[in-house]
Structure 1
Amino acid sequence: MRAAELRTLAAAKATTFVNAFKSREGFKYFIETRDTTLGQHGDPDSRHIWSNEDLDPTPPEKRTWRWWNYVTFYMGLSFGNWTLGSTMVGIGLNWWQSILVIFGSQTISSIAMFFNSRCASVYHIGYPVVARSVFGMWGSYYFVAARAALAIIWYGVQLYSGASFMSNILRCIFGHKYTDIPNHIPASIGITTAGMLSFFLFWLVHFPFCAFRPYQLRSFFWFKSIIVLPAVWGLFIFCMANTKANLGSVFPSTYSGSKGWFIMYAINSGMGNTATLITNQPDIARWSKTKTGAQWSQLITNPIAVTVSASLGILSTAAINNSWGLNLWNPWDLLEAILDRYWSGTTRFAIFLLAFCWMVSLLGTNIAANMIPFGSDSSMLLPRYITIPRGQYIVEFLAFAICPWKILSSASVFTTFLSGYGLFMASVVAIMVCDYYLLTKGNVFVGQLYHGSKANKHYYYHYGWNLQAVFAYLCGIALPFPGFVGTLGANVSTQATELGRLGWLLSFFVSFVVYYVVCIIWPTKNQRLIKEMGLKFEEQSTETFTASDGTVIVEEGKVVRERSENSDGEGVIRETYGVQKNF
């Protein structure tokens, strides 16, 4: 965007903000989102709003992500998995078994992401709108709200984790002046005064990023990928050089019991760190310039980057723990240990750089995995008032309000629940992939996704709910659910525990198969219509589509517009939203 355009936009926003305090009409105009073409021609007689700028398909000029942008995005995102090896070692694998399982689990995750990103790449719609096409206009609210609620908690948890790197930075800069800050917070709260300062500063770092949509963050994710690589490799080289690669036993294997069940359990555990990303794919892929840019790039990048990062973490911590007599896994604890052992100006500067790079890495992960999804979800839950940036500001404040330090210090059962929620999302992904590839042949009637009345013959289903999808979802979570409850402290059978350990994989497979079989026997109305129309694969994927009232809509430039004809019969494009008002 040019400087002149930025100044014009800033001036318009400033005028709107000032007018909001001059009159009731001005305040209403300020808090409400602008009407869109799809909103005007989707379901105009309904009091419910189904469209806003961020729910509409991404117009061409905002599809700014090329395949190399996705490579740097996933490189930076995946290369921060330093502690994934601790999960594998913690359940009983040795070092080389951990590396193989991590690569296998990430390959499976990337395959799932590959398929789940296709619909958004082709039709340029985010997860909430994709959910409408599969679960129904009203049924989608449950699946969107559930993801939004979990994003709030995970956003806060990641904020608290990143604050540890901020603590490293502050110690490097201020030394004992930071570490000796008097604590005025009760121990029962779970955080110290110094820790609260670090949390608040890291929270502030997130704040400016709330104003941007994903297509505007390409440069940031590129920057993140550039600085995280030398940080990870640099810390690894230090650990090897300092300890003379004294790896010791490098975590011998300690598991017992059935090897097959255990390997499946380990693979499922390895997928835990990408379960959120698999579900979130539409919110990232919708900004792709091409139909395949978001698919092949991550399929190659993610497994390699995660495996290399986790391997470096395993070897580095093995060397340090064996030589220094410690038991560390988290990189911020390792940085603290280095400062304790080698306190000097040079060391402080080096640790400052490492902590800064790691902090930026975690910042990017939190934005991609939690901030953007919540912004997308909230724009659907309250489309009249919330856009993606507004939703991102909301989660920024909610993450502070939930007091994540209290959750992590006193609610181990709750954090176990958060780690295992992937099995609930696996069923969602399975149904979305099955519906798109096998049952609707990749055909999505975009114009009907903004029409919530019974007249919507494609996506109203049964009173707004796709019952076939709901049934498959319940079946998918039913088998692993008792074992999941067992991880929260309940007494369950051995069989239930083993099924629970299959988690994501079992839930995905069951929901996929059940949904396909049920829809073959009892197809949805939308599936029947597609079959009657004889549509080929992705035949509906064009730059123009028809709204529910018959108006032809075109995706052109920076907006989604109505196409009409003038008296000469020539096509005329009319923009129907974004008008500035004065009060």
Structure 2
Amino acid sequence: MSLLTSLHEYLLVKSVDQHQNVRPVEFLDNDSIRPTPAKDRTWTHLTYILFWFSATANVSNLYASSTGLTMGLSMWECVGCTFGGQFMAGCLMAFNGRAGAMYRIPFPVLCRASFGPWGALWPTFNRAAMSIVWNGVNMVQGGQCLYVFLHAIFPSIARIPDHMGSKSALTSAQMICFFVYWLINCAFLIVPVPKMKSLVYIKVFVYYGGAFAMLGWVVSLAGGSPSSLGAPSKVHGEAKSWLICKFLFLGLASCGTFISNAADLQRYARQPSDVILGQILSFPVSGLLVAVIGNVIAASSETVFGELIWNPLNFLDKLMEGERYTPGNRAACAFISLAFVYSTVFSAIFENSIPAGNDIAALLPRYITVKRGFFICAVLSYAICPWYLLATAAVFITFLSSYQIFLSAIAGILLCDYYVLRRGLLHIPQLYTANASGIYYFFHGFNLRGFCAYLVAIAPNFYGFLNQMGVAAPLGIRRFYFVAYPVGLLVAFGVYYLACLIWPMEGVEVTREWKEPEDYWDEYDPDRVEGVEGVPATIGVRSETTANSA
């Protein structure tokens, strides 16, 4: 056997059947993207409540809301916009992730029902790119957190000459910390996702412990009442109304990856109902709490330093400058920044590595598992040089808003397909085959209805998107782009529905009957045959039979 043949055999993903025998798989199939087996459905009500409560528990959300202060909004207007946007996002997550909770399938497999087995590669690639970018952003923040921690212990790190330039959010010393943080992140990717429950619980307490500690500290430094805490907005009239509109829907658009990620995370639920409360309630409430903390910290900076510091990590580092480099300040900054390091590691994993791993695995299932996808994501997140995304508040706002039109169109199509057209019924085995006789094969593996809706939904917002990338545009176009996410979602929903009425899809009939099965177990799940404690094997068999007969 030649070296190339041996390498090829090593890279091929080995899949097994319900009897643990190696099974032949097609090009679109491997065990890691199949429905989650019963033994891995371990996430409960509590897990999802704390997970979504911790979803906003990262450094970027501390200053995502407070960036509105730099544009002239008051603190409470910033907080209200963040809460409103994230409440809408939480509701969309609950709906968009339902198929993942019921059938235990990830986002890229769900896309095959709407775009076809080959057509689904585009939305999968699109979402993978966004997850990789967000992963890089989280890693930049992790490197900054680690720098603050090391600066509190080793003052000499601040004297390392900087060769990164003004367009970088990281200095040379912070780049060293970025690399160390990247290695730490990669080390945790080895942990299987179903066993990460305890890490979710720990993250909530560690992050909020550090955030509240910083809040109490900086408010005390500001004399107990920051001067700008109750300050009115600096803009008025029409300009203020449009600015509120911008940040309200920016709060929604910045959760675009969360909305599309929902299926990837819900597939580990014990039962579909376990996920609802966490998404609709704890996610926006957590966003509200983080926004208040972030805005109060930013407001305190004006009293303490005489200038608005929107990044809390820069705030911490300034608290150790000059005569402030005292043992007490160093200890406080060390503990707070270490809490942020921990929380940022798992923000990157839960919210970016897991979705990207699913996407990358679905792009080439014969050779890539979800776990291999994690590490590919980590390498690409380094390669895109994310430290240039966070240099200023304006760059960060532009980054948040620029990708929304693509994800909103995909979300609208998936919602229409699952709820209105298919009424909750998916034929799971056929989502893993490119057989021309399959009901999801459509036109040579592409559902032209889905791509028609996708392009039409992007069109109204594309000029605004180009403006975000530097192309000049009139004021009306710039303002219309503020509502790009809901416009893209609703247009995609409506156009896809009309396209399917004009050109009906095979296996879809217009009916009011809800067709979701009682439960679904994968055909290769060993517990479906042997039974699992408290759940007879007949449940899985009955449910699949119900789904197929419907």
- Which TM bucket (shorter chain)? 0.7 to 0.9
Show the counterpart of 1:5: none
Is residue 101 from structure 1 mapped to residue 71 from structure 2 by the alignment? no
- Counterpart contact for 1:106–1:306, Cα < 8 Å: yes
Superposition deviation, residue 374 in structure 1? 1.3
Distance 1:248 1:415 in 2: 25
Q: 1:301 to 1:36 in 2, by over 3 A?
A: same
- Counterpart contact for 1:36–1:51, Cα < 8 Å: no
Distance 1:490 1:431 in 2: 29
Residue 525 (structure 2) aligned to one of 550, 555, 564? 555
Superposition deviation, residue 491 in structure 1? 2.1
Residue 243 (structure 1) aligned to one of 206, 218, 222? 222
Q: 1:181 to 1:84 in 2, by over 3 A?
A: closer
Residue 425 (structure 1) aligned to one of 389, 404, 407? 407
Q: 1:413 to 1:233 in 2, by over 3 A?
A: closer
Residue 79 (structure 1) aligned to one of 57, 62, 70? 57
Distance 1:99 1:202 in 2: 30
Q: Secondary structure at the match of 1:283?
A: helix
Q: 1:542 to 1:68 in 2, by over 3 A?
A: closer
Show the counterpart of 1:355: 337
Show the counterpart of 1:145: 125
Q: 1:378 to 1:325 in 2, by over 3 A?
A: same
Q: In structure 2, give the amino acid aligned to 1:60.
A: A
Superposition deviation, residue 298 in structure 1? 2.0
Is residue 376 from structure 1 mapped to residue 358 from structure 2 by the alignment? yes
Q: 1:74 to 1:474 in 2, by over 3 A?
A: same
Show the counterpart of 1:12: none
Q: In structure 2, give the amino acid aligned to 1:448.
A: Q
Superposition deviation, residue 358 in structure 1? 1.0
Q: 1:562 to 1:135 in 2, by over 3 A?
A: farther
Q: In structure 1, give the amino acid aligned to 2:431.
A: L
Residue 392 (structure 1) aligned to one of 374, 379, 388? 374
Q: In structure 1, give the amino acid aligned to 2:112.
A: R
Is residue 295 from structure 1 mapped to residue 276 from structure 2 by the alignment? yes
Q: 1:145 to 1:226 in 2, by over 3 A?
A: same
Is residue 324 from structure 1 mapped to residue 305 from structure 2 by the alignment? yes
Residue 41 (structure 2) aligned to one of 38, 53, 63? 63
Is residue 474 from structure 1 mapped to residue 455 from structure 2 by the alignment? yes
Distance 1:399 1:159 in 2: 8
Q: Secondary structure at the match of 2:128?
A: helix
Superposition deviation, residue 469 in structure 1? 1.5
Q: Secondary structure at the match of 1:454?
A: coil
- Counterpart contact for 2:461–2:488, Cα < 8 Å: yes
Q: In structure 2, give the amino acid aligned to 1:451.
A: T
Q: 1:255 to 1:84 in 2, by over 3 A?
A: farther
Q: Deviations over 1:424-444 (max 9, x none)?
A: 101111111111111100001
**For structure 1, which segment, 256-265 or 356-365, has the greater mean C-alpha deviation from structure 2 after superposition?**
256-265
- Counterpart contact for 2:113–2:440, Cα < 8 Å: yes
Q: Secondary structure at the match of 2:32?
A: coil
Q: Deviations over 1:18-57 (max 9, x none)?
A: xxx997665444321113449x99x97x9x5111111111
Q: What is the RMSD computed on CA atoms of the aligned residues?
A: 3.0
Superposition deviation, residue 156 in structure 1? 2.0
Residue 32 (structure 2) aligned to one of 48, 51, 54? 54
Superposition deviation, residue 300 in structure 1? 0.7
Residue 225 (structure 1) aligned to one of 204, 211, 217? 204
Q: In structure 1, give the amino acid aligned to 2:123.
A: F
Pairs within 5 Å for 1:138-287: 138-175=118-155, 177-183=156-162, 185=163, 187=165, 190=168, 191-250=170-229, 251-253=231-233, 254-257=235-238, 261-287=242-268
Residue 446 (structure 1) aligned to one of 428, 438, 463? 428
Show the counterpart of 1:131: 111
- Counterpart contact for 1:88–1:269, Cα < 8 Å: no
Distance 1:49 1:371 in 2: 23
Show the counterpart of 1:537: 514
Q: Deviations over 1:56-85 (max 9, x none)?
A: 110111011101111111222223321122
- Counterpart contact for 1:239–1:319, Cα < 8 Å: yes
Q: Deviations over 1:491-550 (max 9, x none)?
A: 22333222211111111121112222332333222324xx5xx794244454457xxxxx
Distance 1:439 1:189 in 2: 48
- Counterpart contact for 2:119–2:445, Cα < 8 Å: yes
Show the counterpart of 2:544: none
Superposition deviation, residue 259 in structure 1? 6.0
Q: Secondary structure at the match of 1:217?
A: helix
- Counterpart contact for 2:210–2:336, Cα < 8 Å: yes
Q: Deviations over 1:430-488 (max 9, x none)?
A: 111111111100001001111102110x2011221112211111121111221222222
- Counterpart contact for 2:227–2:302, Cα < 8 Å: no
Distance 2:387 2:521 in 1: 49
Distance 2:490 2:69 in 1: 27
Distance 1:310 1:423 in 2: 24
Q: Secondary structure at the match of 1:245?
A: coil
Q: Secondary structure at the match of 2:525?
A: strand
Distance 1:556 1:67 in 2: 25
Residue 508 (structure 1) aligned to one of 463, 474, 489? 489
- Counterpart contact for 2:73–2:240, Cα < 8 Å: no
Distance 1:407 1:258 in 2: 27
- Counterpart contact for 1:554–1:562, Cα < 8 Å: no
Q: Secondary structure at the match of 2:238?
A: coil
- Counterpart contact for 2:127–2:257, Cα < 8 Å: no
Superposition deviation, residue 162 in structure 1? 1.5
Q: Deviations over 1:228-257 (max 9, x none)?
A: 111111111112222223322435321442
**For structure 1, which segment, 320-329 or 432-441, has the greater mean C-alpha deviation from structure 2 after superposition?**
320-329
Gaps of 5+ in 1: 1-20, 546-552, 564-569, 574-583
Distance 1:506 1:401 in 2: 33
Show the counterpart of 1:523: 504
Is residue 34 from structure 1 mapped to residue 14 from structure 2 by the alignment? yes
Distance 2:521 2:218 in 1: 57
Q: 1:92 to 1:270 in 2, by over 3 A?
A: farther
**For structure 1, which segment, 77-86 or 271-280, has the greater mean C-alpha deviation from structure 2 after superposition?**
77-86
> Which has the greater radius of gyration?
1
Q: Secondary structure at the match of 1:51?
A: coil
**For structure 1, which segment, 291-300 or 441-450, has the greater mean C-alpha deviation from structure 2 after superposition?**
291-300
TM-score, length-scaled by structure 1: 0.83
Distance 2:327 2:252 in 1: 40
Gaps of 5+ in 2: 532-537, 542-550
- Counterpart contact for 1:117–1:295, Cα < 8 Å: no
Superposition deviation, residue 311 in structure 1? 1.0
